[in-house]
Amino acid sequence: MARQKSFLKLEGQIGDLTFFKTQDGYQVREKGGVSAERVKTDPRFQRTRENGEEFGRAGKAGKLLRAALRSFVLNGQDRRMASRLTREMMKVVKADTVSSRGKRNVTDGETSLLNGFEFNLNAKLSQTFLPKFTTAFDRSTGAGRVIVSPYVPNKMIRVPEGATHYVLKLGVSAVDFENGTYNTEEFSTPVLAFDNVQAPGTTLEASVEPASIHPVFMTLAIEFNQFVNGEYYPLQNGFFNAIQVVNVDSAV
Question: What mean pLDDT is predicted for residues 208-217?
Answer: 96
Query: What pTM did the predictor assign?
Result: 0.81
Q: How far apart are CA 222 and CA 235, in angstroms?
A: 12
Residue type, 41: T
Q: Cα separations (Å) of 66 from 1, 26, 73, 75?
A: 30, 28, 7, 12
8-state DSSP, 77: -
Q: In the predicted model, is pLDDT for residue 139 greater than 50? A: yes
Q: List the chain domain ranges.
A: 7-41, 116-249
Per the DSSP assignment, residues forming a β-bridge with 244 are: 118, 220
Question: What mean pLDDT is predicted for residues 1-29?
Answer: 59
> Which phi and psi angles does 125 have, rounded to 5°?
-60, -40
Q: How far apart are CA 204 and CA 129, in angstroms?
A: 15
- Higher-pLDDT residue of 233 and 221 is 221
Cβ–Cβ under 8 Å, residues 200 and 184: no
Chain segment 42-53, per-residue pLDDT in tens:
556 556 677 778
Residues 6 or more apart in contact with residue 71 via CB below 8 angstroms: 171, 186
Chain segment 56-102, per-residue pLDDT in tens:
889 999 999 999 999 888 888 899 999 999 999 999 999 999 988 88
Beta strand segments in the chain, E: 2-3, 12-14, 17-22, 25-30, 133-138, 143-148, 165-176, 181-188, 192-193, 202-207, 216-228, 231-234, 242-249
Chain segment 105-120, per-residue pLDDT in tens:
999 999 999 999 999 9
CATH of 116-249, one of 1.10.730, 2.40.50, 2.60.120, 2.60.40: 2.60.40
Question: Chain centroid to CA 36: how far?
Answer: 31
Q: Cα separations (Å) of 178 from 29, 214, 231?
A: 37, 10, 43
Confidence grade of residue 37 (pLDDT, cut at 50, 70, 90): low
Q: How far apart are CA 168 and CA 157, in angstroms?
A: 12
pLDDT at 4: 47
Burial of 204-220, coded b for 16+ CB within 10 Å and e otherwise, reads bebbbeeebebbbbbbb
Q: In the predicted model, is pLDDT for residue 123 greater than 70? A: yes
Is residue 38 within a helix (H) or strand (E), and if so which, with residue range? helix 36-41
